[in-house]
Chain A
Amino acid sequence: MILVERVTKRFGDYVALDDVSLSVPDGSLTALLGPSGSGKSTLLRIIGGLESPDVGSVTIHGEDQTSVAPQRRGIGFVFQHYAAFKHMTVRDNVAFGLAVRKRPKAEIASRVDELLEIVGLAGYQTRYPSQLSGGQRQRMALARALAVEPRVLLLDEPFGALDAKVRADLREWLRKLHDEVHVTTLLVTHDQEEAMSIADQIAVMDHSRIEQVGTPRELYDRPETPFVMRFLGPVTQLGDALVRPHDIALSVEPRAGSFEAQVARVVHLGFEVRTELVLGDGQELAVQLTRGEADELELAVGDIVHVRSTVLPRALATRAPEADALSA
């Protein structure tokens, strides 16, 4: 388990982390999710020992690591831009951590071959990083980090430099790898879809603080702040409340608590139909329907319909208007 307790970090006048606490369960894949500048990379680097906190502590497996050198933390670190040792072959890159530990040559060679097999780079031993694609370089970097059997794997935007297709493939691959290797993993990302699709637990960060920690489902269904609600998925305003566009029901007749609205636009996207409505007070509203629902209502531009939320209004919507303004 990684335990971060009350960590504060300043760079000059800028507060990068403000009294942050987090626990990462053993064997989990936890994502640190937030916009750029939210402090997530700084938190990762503090856990890895690449930065030291001004206040607070970092504990890994019950041992206080706050003042332990990064070399002796037992961590594997993977960087956004691969940090490949470009003057070394793939084999020497992956072997590096074992070589500095002075392990026997034969052991290193077999371990390297085994790891390259796992990350799908068998046969690339004698290539140089410049001869690999971005996705291959990142898999090499993962093999290099895993070679030293780290207690904790720290990934800093590992797919951020890759194009969308490779990113999606590698994301799935990482999840499968994690299910096989089970090493406690902390992944930094600004992509909510990435975090939602592979993480067991997500910590959402904003403005140098952790906003909320939970499973992807919990965060999506029960966000505690407007920021988390907005960051995890699409939202629209209905009356005083923030609602997800798919949590709004349309009907021809008025229902209890419903609002009258006029259809402004209907966009058919195959299974999904996106509708834009204008409420009586001029406020615009986005609603996501299935094709079946839209067909049943025979929606056309100009129609008058009645809309209501299908979920309970959230307490967060009435909370702290200044927080709301910040996240906008």
Chain B
Amino acid sequence: MSALAVTARSARRSHTGALGLGVATLYLSVIVLLPLSAVLVRSLDGGVGAFWDAVSSRQAVAALRFTLLVSLATAAINVAGGTLIAWVLVRDRFPGKRIVNALIDLPFALPTIVAGLVLLTLYGPRSPFGIDLAYTQSAVLLALLFVTLPFVIRSVQPVLIELDREMEEAALSLGARNATIFRRIVLPNLVPAILSGAALAFARAVGEFGSVVLISGNIPFRTQVGSVYVFKLIESDAPVSAAAVSTVLLLVSLAVLLGIRALGHWGARHDR
């Protein structure tokens, strides 16, 4: 290729870059930054004192704590289950694999309120299997697992497909057992994808409303999650308190997401 062509191409690329940056900034501002800032500003409408009162009430603290814990549990179970399912989908052969692969994304397509209703029917007081989880913390966890299923699977799958199989064969010829190969060769290469999937699942779990609102029973101090508590506050005409609790939910999520990212960077420190 001639030097001229190279120059022209790189010039065009930088031009696109500037435009791209502008569009991306505008888009992010309208879609993300502005609404989040509005929540933050609204939460301080009543002053710092009112903010503190709203988020430190016993019910708010209980709801926030339960949300955080159940979301962390959701992310953790997804790490194990999602990685396993991704592994089976990539490495194993079985009839109907393509159909199973297509089914993974369906929890996204189902309106979450419908998901909640279905779960309540299956695992509620009139469960055909005799399993009644309705209005328990387990039910909340179940609903969150359902709606967050695809995240870890879909982030691990492509990495697993691209993973150099010869690394595993080299380890095999060097005498490593399959468990050792998985732990020392495969897993370290999947960690960044697993973490990013876990982060998405966690964030989704923190904000999830539709699927938990029915099955949780919304029992304060037991099964009430942050999003449903916020909804209650809005219904009882306390929008500033709702904004304050939302702000704390956002901040906690941000802290956890940053933590997961830091873990990912630490894990991928060799990939430069």
Give A144 to B166 CA distance when docked, in angstroms: 14
In the complex, which residue of chain B has the Cβ closest to the Cβ of A82? B166
Enumerate chain B residues within 8 angstroms of A81, measured Cβ to Cβ.
164, 166
Give A100 to B170 CA distance when docked, in angstroms: 13
In the complex, which residue of chain A has the Cβ closest to the Cβ of B177? A71
Asked if B272 is at the interface of the complex by the 8 Å CB criterion, the answer is yes
In the complex, which residue of chain A has the Cβ closest to the Cβ of B191? A87
Interface 9-residue window, one of A72-80, A107-115, A174-182, A236-244: A72-80
Binary flags per residue of B164-206, CB closer than 8 Å to A gives 1, else 0 = 1011011111111100100011001100000000000000000
Give A141 to B171 CA distance when docked, in angstroms: 11
B interface residues, tally (CB under 8 Å): 20
Question: Which residue of the partner chain, among A79, A84, A86, A148, contacts B169 with CB atoms under 8 Å?
Answer: A79
Give A291 to B95 CA distance when docked, in angstroms: 69
Binary flags per residue of B148-171, CB closer than 8 Å to A gives 1, else 0 = 000000000000000010110111
Q: Given A71-B175, A71-B177, A144-B174, A130 and B270 touching (CB < 8 A)?
A: yes
Max count, chain A CB within 10 A of own CB: residue among B172, B177, B180, B272: B172
Give A128 to B177 CA distance when docked, in angstroms: 24
Give how many A-B residue pairs fall within 8 Å (CB-CB): 76
Enumerate chain A residues within 8 angstroms of B171, measured Cβ to Cβ.
85, 96, 100
In the complex, which residue of chain A has the Cβ closest to the Cβ of B270? A128
Enumerate chain B residues within 8 angstroms of A100, measured Cβ to Cβ.
171, 174-177, 180
Are B270 and A83 in contact, CB atoms less than 8 angstroms apart?
A: no
Are A87 and B188 in contact, CB atoms less than 8 angstroms apart?
A: yes
Q: Given A100-B180, A130-B272, A83 and B166 touching (CB < 8 A)?
A: yes
Q: How large is the interface on A (under 10, 10 to 19, 20 to 34, 35 or more residues)?
A: 20 to 34
Q: Is the interface of B mostly helix, strand, loop or mixed?
A: helix
In the complex, which residue of chain A has the Cβ closest to the Cβ of B188? A87
Question: Which residue of the partner chain, among B167, B172, B184, contacts A70 with CB atoms under 8 Å?
Answer: B172
Are B166 and A87 in contact, CB atoms less than 8 angstroms apart?
A: no
Are B170 and A71 in contact, CB atoms less than 8 angstroms apart?
A: no
Q: Given A50-B169, A75-B173, A96-B176, A83 and B164 touching (CB < 8 A)?
A: yes
Give A49 to B174 CA distance when docked, in angstroms: 12
Asked if B237 is at the interface of the complex by the 8 Å CB criterion, the answer is no
Asked if A34 is at the interface of the complex by the 8 Å CB criterion, the answer is no
Question: Which residue of the partner chain, among A72, A77, A86, contacts B270 with CB atoms under 8 Å?
Answer: A86
Q: Given A81-B166, A85-B185, A86-B270, A96 and B173 touching (CB < 8 A)?
A: no
Enumerate chain B residues within 8 angstroms of A147, measured Cβ to Cβ.
174
- Which A residues between 88 and 111 are near B, CB-CB below 8 angstroms? 88-89, 96-97, 100-101
Give A96 to B272 CA distance when docked, in angstroms: 22
Asked if A204 is at the interface of the complex by the 8 Å CB criterion, the answer is no
In the complex, which residue of chain A has the Cβ closest to the Cβ of B267? A87
Enumerate chain A residues within 8 angstroms of B175, measured Cβ to Cβ.
71-72, 97, 100-101, 148
For the complex with contacts A101-B175, A130-B271, A148-B175, 16 further pairs of A-B residues with Cβ separation under 8 Å are: A48-B173, A70-B172, A71-B173, A71-B175, A72-B175, A79-B169, A83-B170, A84-B167, A85-B170, A87-B189, A96-B174, A97-B174, A100-B177, A130-B270, A144-B170, A154-B173
Interface set of A (CB-CB < 8 Å, partner B):
48-50, 70-73, 75-77, 79, 81, 83-89, 96-97, 100-101, 128, 130-131, 141, 144-145, 147-148, 154
